[in-house]
Each structure stands twice: as structure tokens, then as C-alpha cells.
């Protein structure tokens, strides 16, 4: 099948859809643009399907590139066997292609290559045909040893020839495919302790699980334990079954030298095939585990980025600490930094009166609406102090505990240094904590997605693959929400479809030099921002208060004339009323009159009906139980409130306001069976949990949501 045919089958699409999407991708269109503004071409596919489509397209093209390379290399080696070439042409995976090319791939020095160099290929051929009895083979080997000084004995000559046959068996594509399937059916991943000392890997000190059932997070855990030299890992299959499979391929009926062939089979398995396939299959297990982890990380990241903003509030951000105090920063409703400082309401200094006086003063001076406390070290003690002060003084202020994931990474970054060159890194963290309450998406895009810490084993993964996947999530969120062209930071603008980091900076530079953008069309005045970038980006950029009202909607400039034609047709100005009037009409007929696709018309009417709409829904923040200050305060059976801070494929981590999050194992998430935790919980969700157990020594808290949801 051709690449388009394969994509048609994989995604269950029409050939015309596939051809259209490929043409858009090859033409440089971004996924957000295709998903939003080319729905007639795609059949209204969402961005996740389109990203999967683009990845599969690239993978299939890479397969064809490698196929062409292998055919060329085989030709250069003079390989013209029609069966081999036909198999290469029909190979449907890189693994199959590499198996077929393996016998012809140039090798480093091996025992078999040394034997070939000594002229033992003919003897190896006699062994492989299995028509020559052992005694006759010994005579040929003795004659060869007499001819070649480097072969001291007949036994050495025979051993060299056997090495050649063993390598042939190890390179046989059919044998490798059968054994790979055996590993999948009957393989067991085994882990043993490499050190006697205790560690976080103790549960894997004597561990075994079938390959076909092992969970991805356990694969990643033992991989890390092996790298840190706490664990010795092996992949085991029944040796008898493996040898039988190889013998079926190698041992011919009425073989004249069966024992010799069996010895070669045993050697090929133990020395060549088993180590190679073990590495290969462990690599595949790790890759699958990483892909699952990336999927979870991406879902978590989306939940975090799409937490609804709290707009129009002056916020006091607190980065809690003990000995070095709590750094604070006050930002106005637009995120402008007003003042900074430090208070010491926590041990060991406990300067409570002084801290209270500072907060009272700031609250009155800046009319603070909200106090945001980072959920890191000393957060619970700081929250207790702030809530008590609010209650005692009857302050008109709300208090929230927010995730400070990535705040320390941002505060030490060049981007933060450029924004606040005169501030201490911890004070920068306080600014970030305050701003991420006002608009989580706008603030979190300043941090590398991998550093936000809402995944599992992210530092162990293929960083390029992880960055690509998470970058796609950020891009999707930014373009789904839309960006205010006149207030967005370069970091936020760089995720808009069609806008590179350099173009984002150029937009900000133009804005600083010429003032606010008055229309989307002014984007074309930005140096190096041409028609292609404008086409991709314009629909995702908003200009509140623009003379052209459509500039503050998701309607693309390419459709402005159609919208105005609709307004003329219905004798209603461009407004929510126009959308209301059009909704009562036959949209198919109307779209035909306007020369618009029905999907595009529906999107235009939706944008007109809800101008300035933000897709981020309201997400209530819980108030944590205030009597819980330490893990020692927890007892089994206690029911408390918390916030989901991370979701893994084995469960969810819940912030209880302590220094340690509790774990709700997947089996405790619901009274019903849960296959995927993301179907039950999301990051930022308020949940009620029951304490199952508390391990003070290991600082682990087991929780349950059963009977509470």
C-alpha cells in the first residue's frame, strides 16, 4: 500500500481527507491552524488526531527512506536475490527491514568474520547443507588446518566454521521474528538486588513479571534502578522453547551431523541471539513505557495549563520557607509587579507579629484581593498563619494554595533574569506564584514543559520526544484560548501557530516602538512577519477594543468579507444578534449562499455569539483542613479534602497541605474498575479522600476515594 492508503486505513478516513491533510502539512500549515480553520478539508478532526496523523506520516516516510537506503546498499553489495528484494519491498516495519538487512550489514570484527578471512566459508557451507557426516567434516577441517598456519588444529578449523553458521542463524530474519514472538508470549522481566543497602527500589529486589503484563511505570522504575546500580535486570524465556524454535529452522530432516547442528544452535542462542533480543525487547518495553508516560504527562500538563484564570485581582504571592523566610511579591490585576519583600512567620524565627503587620500594611496599601501561597516547603505553616490573620483581622482577602511546580526553574532562568534583573531568584518565584493565579497559561508557558513536574520519570525519557509532545500540548492550549496581541509576552506569543521565538520577540519590539496594535492587519508591518505567518497566526491573536470587532474573536481575517456579507444579507450588524438570527436558518443553505463551509460558518456564528469567550471553565479551589499541619496528624480513617497535583498511570497524588503528597492508588480511585486514572481525576481537581495508612519512616501516605465520589 502507498503511504496515503496506509493512513486512510489507520485513521478510517476518506482518501480525499488524507490527501488534503498531507497537502496542508507539506505546505507548511500548523496543526492548530488546520484543526481550526480547515475543517472542511479534515472533516472536523481535532488537533490530537491531526498530531497523531502527522507523526504517523513522518514515521511512514522514514520507513520508506530507510527502505530505499537498504535497497541501494544491497545493490552496492551485488545482492540480486529476488526473494530478498521482494521481502524488503514488502516489509511493513523498521524492525522487519533491519532483520532482513542484518545478514548483509557490514559488521565489526567477529569470530565469524575472522573465520571467513581464514577461508572457512566452504567448510561452513558443508556443515549448513548437513549432507556430510561428522567424520568427513573432521577430515576437511584437518586439511584446512594443514593449509592455514593460523589454524593450529582441526578442532580450531571446525570451531571457526561453526561460528560462521552460528552467525548465519543469529542473522536469520525468520528465526528472530519467531523468538521475538516467544519473548512477547513467555518472557519474564526479572529484577534482583545488586546492593544489600536499603533504597527506594526495595520492592524490586526480588521481582519478576511477565513481559506481556508488566506496567510501564514498573519498567521505568527498574530501568532507573539498574542505571543507579541498585538492581540487576534480566529478561528470561524458557531456554528449551527457544532452542526448539531455532532447531526447527536449522536442523534439516535426515541431517548427517545433527549433534553438530544442535551445538551450533545452543551457541547461537546463548552467545548471539539471546543478548541481542534481550536488549532489543527491553528497548521496546522502555519505549512503550515512555510513550504511555508521555501521554499521561501531556494530559496532566493540559489540565494544569487550562486551570481557569482569576482575573481583575491584585494578588500577593508567597513563596514559603523556614529559615530564609517567605518571599513575597504583590502584582496588580495586569500582572505588573508593585512591591516585594520577605516575612518570617514560620519556624525557627516565628516573627509572627512583624509578619502580620507587613501583610496588614500591604493589604491596605495595594487593596490586595487574593493571597496565593506556593505549595512547597513550609506552605502548610504559612497557610495556617495567613488564614488565622484573615480571620482575626476580618481582612477582605481570599487565600489559595497553588501549585508552584516549575517556579524555581523559571526564577533561575535567563527569561526571568531578563524580566527582573534586580530581583533575588526566590522573589521571582513569588511573582510567578502570584501571576499563575491570575492566568496560569500565560505564566506557565515561560517554563520548559518538562520542568513543570506533572509526570513520572520525565528525566529518564527521550528528551526530544518528550519536548515535542509537551510542546504540542502547550501550543494546542495557547491557540485554543487565544492570545491578547497587546499584552502577551514573547514566551506566550512563541506558541501561537506560525510564530517562531524570533518573530514573537519582533512583535513585542514593534509593540514597544509603535504602541499597541490597533488591528490584526498591522501584524504585517512587523519585520519578517510575512503573509504565510500572518495566515497561520492571525485567527489566534485577539485585540480587545479594536475598531474591527472581529479582531477580538476567533474569526479568521480570511472570512471577514463573508461575515459582512452575512450581516448585509440578514440586515443585522456584526454582533451577537447576527449569530442569534442566523442560528434559526438552514445553515447548509446559508453556507452555500456565502461560499463558506458549514463547519466554518458554525464556528463563525459561535465566535459571534460569545465574543471574548475563554474556553477555560471555572474550577473551584478547595480549602484544606486547617488542623492538619504534619504527617503525624494523619490517622487511618480520617476523611479530608485535597487537590490533585499529579496523575500517573498507577494512581493520583493528592496535596493535603503537607510536605508530602498522598497517593490514591488506581485501585482506590473509585468503587468501579478504573483502567485509566485520567478518566476519574485531573490536575487541579478538588477531591475528598480517606486516609488508609501512614508510613512515617518512609513518609508515605496511602489514600482512597472509594465511597467518597
DSSP class per residue in 346-359: STTT--HHHHHHHH
Scanning 121-236, the segments in alpha helix (DSSP H) are: 121-129, 134-147, 154-170, 173-186, 216-227
Give the mean model confidence (pLDDT) for residues 626-649: 82
State the pLDDT confidence band at 375, using cuts at 50, 70 and 90: confident
> In the predicted model, what is the mean pLDDT of the chain?
93
> Which pLDDT does position 405 carry in this prediction?
81
Pair 100, 123 in one domain: no
> Which pLDDT does position 624 carry in this prediction?
45
| Residue, of 615 and 324, whose pLDDT is higher | 324
Estimate to the nearest angstrom the gap between the alpha carbon of 65 and the chain centroid. Answer: 26
Q: 537-558: per-residue pLDDT in tens?
A: 999 999 999 999 999 999 999 9
Spatial CA neighbour of 406 closest among 295, 265, 251, 300 = 300
> Which pLDDT does position 611 carry in this prediction?
82
Count the alpha carbons within 13 Å of 613 in the hemisphere toward its beta carbon: 17
Give the mean model confidence (pLDDT) for residues 223-244: 96
What span, in angstroms and rounded, lies between the C-alpha atoms of 445 and 440? Answer: 8
> Which pLDDT does position 619 carry in this prediction?
54
Pair 120, 223 in one domain: yes
Pair 99, 171 in one domain: no
Is residue 597 included in any domain, yes or no?
no
> Which pLDDT does position 617 carry in this prediction?
63
> Which pLDDT does position 612 carry in this prediction?
75
Is residue 175 included in any domain, yes or no?
yes
State the pLDDT confidence band at 643, using cuts at 50, 70 and 90: confident
**Cis omega (within 30 of 0) on the bond before 348?**
yes
Q: What is the CATH number of the domain that holds 652?
A: 2.40.50.140
| Residue, of 453 and 305, whose pLDDT is higher | 305
Pair 97, 116 in one domain: no
Phi and psi for 529 in degrees, rounded to 5? -100, 100
Is residue 570 included in any domain, yes or no?
no
**3 state SS of 176:** helix
Give the mean model confidence (pLDDT) for residues 305-334: 94
DSSP assignment, residue 308?
A: P
Pair 213, 354 in one domain: no
Is residue 521 included in any domain, yes or no?
no
Q: 3-50: per-residue pLDDT in tens?
A: 999 999 999 999 999 999 999 999 999 999 999 999 999 999 999 999
Count the alpha carbons within 13 Å of 207 in the hemisphere toward its beta carbon: 20
Tell which of 242, 257, 292 closes a domain.
Answer: 292
> Which pLDDT does position 4 carry in this prediction?
97
Give the mean model confidence (pLDDT) for residues 654-674: 89
What span, in angstroms and rounded, lies between the C-alpha atoms of 563 and 551? Answer: 12
> Which pLDDT does position 699 carry in this prediction?
86
Pair 378, 266 in one domain: no
Is residue 671 included in any domain, yes or no?
yes
Pair 337, 417 in one domain: yes
| Residue, of 476 and 457, whose pLDDT is higher | 476
| CA-based torsion, 658, 292, 290, 500: positive or negative | negative
Tell which of 59, 82, 104 closes a domain.
Answer: 104
Pair 288, 172 in one domain: yes
Give the mean model confidence (pLDDT) for residues 518-539: 97
Q: What is the CATH number of the domain that holds 359?
A: 3.30.420.140
State the pLDDT confidence band at 304, using cuts at 50, 70 and 90: confident
Give the mean model confidence (pLDDT) for residues 600-605: 95
State the pLDDT confidence band at 625, using cuts at 50, 70 and 90: very low
> Which pLDDT does position 458 carry in this prediction?
77
Give the mean model confidence (pLDDT) for residues 58-64: 97
Distances, alpha carbon 94 to alpha carbons 59, 64, 157, 184, 486, in Å = 10, 9, 37, 18, 48
Is residue 445 included in any domain, yes or no?
no
What span, in angstroms and rounded, lies between the C-alpha atoms of 93 and 465? Answer: 20
Pair 99, 201 in one domain: no
Query: Above 80 in pLDDT, residue 208?
Result: yes
Q: What is the CATH number of the domain that holds 172?
A: 1.10.3500.10
Containing structural domain, residue 341: 315-438
CA angle 227, 233, 236 (to 5 degrees): 155
What span, in angstroms and rounded, lies between the C-alpha atoms of 400 and 316? Answer: 10
Query: Above 50 in pLDDT, residue 128?
Result: yes
> Which pLDDT does position 628 carry in this prediction?
65
What percent of the chain is modeled with pLDDT above 90? 81
Pair 164, 257 in one domain: yes
Q: 180-189: per-residue pLDDT in tens?
A: 999 999 999 9
Pair 89, 116 in one domain: no
Is residue 32 included in any domain, yes or no?
yes
Is residue 569 included in any domain, yes or no?
no
Query: Above 50 in pLDDT, residue 622?
Result: no
> Which pLDDT does position 231 carry in this prediction?
96
User: How many domains does the structure of the chain reveal?
Assistant: 4
Pair 160, 271 in one domain: yes
> Which pLDDT does position 188 carry in this prediction?
97
State the pLDDT confidence band at 202, using cuts at 50, 70 and 90: very high
Give the mean model confidence (pLDDT) for residues 595-599: 94
What percent of the chain is modeled with pLDDT above 70? 98
Tell which of 71, 104, 137 closes a domain.
Answer: 104
Whether residue 664 contacts residue 703, with contact meaning beta carbons closer than 8 Å, is answered with: yes
Amino acid at each position: 500500500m502507498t503511504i496515503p492508503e496506509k493512513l486512510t486505513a489507520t485513521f478510517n478516513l476518506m482518501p480525499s481527507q488524507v490527501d488534503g491533510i498531507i497537502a496542508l502539512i507539506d505546505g507548511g500549515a500548523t496543526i492548530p491552524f488546520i484543526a481550526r480553520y480547515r475543517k472542511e478539508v479534515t472533516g472536523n478532526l481535532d488537533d490530537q488526531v491531526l498530531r497523531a496523523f502527522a507523526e504517523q506520516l513522518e514515521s511512514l516516510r522514514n520507513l520508506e527512506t530507510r527502505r530505499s537506503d537498504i535497497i541501494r546498499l544491497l545493490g552496492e553489495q551485488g545482492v540480486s536475490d529476488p526473494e530478498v528484494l521482494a521481502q524488503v519491498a514488502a516489509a511493513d516495519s523498521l524492525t522487519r527491514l533491519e532483520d532482513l538487512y542484518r545478514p548483509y550489514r557490514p559488521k565489526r570484527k567477529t569470530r565469524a568474520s575472522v573465520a571467513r578471512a581464514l577461508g572457512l566459508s566452504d567448510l561452513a557451507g558443508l556443515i549448513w547443507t548437513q549432507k556430510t557426516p561428522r567424520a568427513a567434516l573432521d577430515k576437511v577441517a584437518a586439511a584446512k588446518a594443514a593449509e592455514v598456519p593460523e589454524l593450529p588444529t582441526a578442532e580450531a578449523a571446525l570451531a571457526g566454521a561453526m561460528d560462521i553458521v552460528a552467525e548465519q542463524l543469529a542473522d536469520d530474519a525468520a528465526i528472530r521474528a519467531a523468538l521475538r514472538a516467544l519473548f512477547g508470549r513467555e518472557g519474564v522481566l526479572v529484577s534482583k538486588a545488586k546492593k544489600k543497602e536499603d533504597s527506594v527500589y526495595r520492592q524490586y529486589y526480588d521481582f519478576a513479571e511477565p513481559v506481556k503484563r508488566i506496567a510501564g511505570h514498573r519498567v521505568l522504575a527498574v530501568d532507573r534502578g539498574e542505571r543507579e546500580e541498585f538492581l540487576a535486570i534480566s529478561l528470561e524465556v524458557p531456554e528449551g522453547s527457544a532452542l526448539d524454535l531455532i532447531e526447527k529452522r536449522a536442523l534439516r530432516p535426515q541431517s548427517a551431523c545433527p549433534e553438530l547442528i544442535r551445538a551450533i544452535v545452543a551457541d547461537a542462542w546463548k552467545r548471539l541471539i539471546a543478548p541481542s533480543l534481550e536488549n532489543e525487547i527491553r528497548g521496546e518495553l522502555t519505549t512503550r513505557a515512555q510513550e504511555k508516560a508521555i501521554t499521561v504527562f501531556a494530559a496532566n500538563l493540559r489540565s494544569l495549563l487550562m486551570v481557569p484564570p482569576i482575573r481583575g485581582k491584585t494578588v500577593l504571592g508567597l513563596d514559603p520557607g523556614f529559615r530564609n523566610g517567605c518571599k513575597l511579591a504583590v502584582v496588580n490585576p495586569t500582572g505588573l509587579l508593585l512591591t516585594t519583600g520577605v516575612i518570617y512567620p514560620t519556624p525557627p524565627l516565628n516573627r509572627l507579629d512583624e509578619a502580620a503587620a507587613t501583610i496588614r500594611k500591604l493589604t491596605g496599601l495595594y487593596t490586595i484581593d487574593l493571597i496565593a501561597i506556593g505549595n512547597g516547603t513550609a506552605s502548610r505553616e504559612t497557610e495556617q498563619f495567613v488564614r488565622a490573620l484573615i480571620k482575626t483581622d476580618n481582612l477582605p482577602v481570599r487565600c489559595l494554595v497553588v501549585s508552584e511546580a516549575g517556579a524555581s526553574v523559571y526564577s533561575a532562568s535567563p527569561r526571568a533574569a531578563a524580566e527582573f534583573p534586580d530581583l533575588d531568584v526566590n522573589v521571582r518565584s513569588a511573582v510567578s506564584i502570584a501571576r499563575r493565579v491570575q492566568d496560569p497559561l500565560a505564566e506557565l508557558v515561560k517554563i520548559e514543559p518538562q520542568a513543570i513536574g506533572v509526570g513520572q520519570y520525565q528525566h529518564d525519557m527521550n528528551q526530544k520526544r518528550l519536548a515535542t509532545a509537551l510542546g504540542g500540548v502547550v501550543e494546542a492550549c495557547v491557540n485554543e484560548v487565544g492570545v491578547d496581541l497587546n499584552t502577551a509576552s514573547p514566551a506566550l506569543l512563541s506558541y501561537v501557530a506560525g510564530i517562531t521565538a524570533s518573530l514573537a520577540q519582533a512583535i513585542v519590539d514593534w509593540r514597544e516602538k509603535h504602541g499597541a496594535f490597533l488591528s490584526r492587519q498591522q501584524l504585517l508591518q512587523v519585520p519578517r512577519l510575512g503573509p504565510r505567518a500572518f495566515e497561520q497566526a492571525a485567527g489566534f491573536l485577539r485585540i480587545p477594543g479594536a475598531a474591527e470587532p472581529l479582531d477580538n474573536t476567533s474569526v479568521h481575517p480570511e472570512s471577514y468579507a463573508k461575515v459582512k456579507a452575512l450581516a448585509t444579507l440578514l440586515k443585522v450588524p456584526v454582533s451577537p444578534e447576527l449569530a442569534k438570527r442566523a442560528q434559526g436558518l438552514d445553515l447548509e443553505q446559508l453556507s452555500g449562499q456565502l461560499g463558506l463551509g458549514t463547519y466554518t460558518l458554525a464556528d463563525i456564528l459561535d465566535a459571534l455569539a460569545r465574543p471574548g469567550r475563554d474556553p477555560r471553565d471555572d474550577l473551584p479551589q478547595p480549602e484544606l483542613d486547617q488542623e492538619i499541619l504534619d504527617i503525624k496528624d494523619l490517622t487511618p480513617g480520617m476523611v479530608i479534602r485535597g487537590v490533585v497535583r499529579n496523575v500517573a498511570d498507577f494512581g493520583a497524588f493528592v496535596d493535603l497541605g503537607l510536605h508530602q503528597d498522598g497517593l490514591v492508588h488506581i485501585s482506590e480511585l473509585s468503587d468501579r474498575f478504573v483502567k485509566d486514572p485520567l478518566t476519574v481525576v485531573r490536575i487541579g481537581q478538588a477531591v475528598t479522600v480517606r486516609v488508609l495508612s501512614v508510613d512515617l519512616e518512609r513518609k508515605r501516605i496511602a489514600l482512597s476515594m472509594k465511597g467518597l465520589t
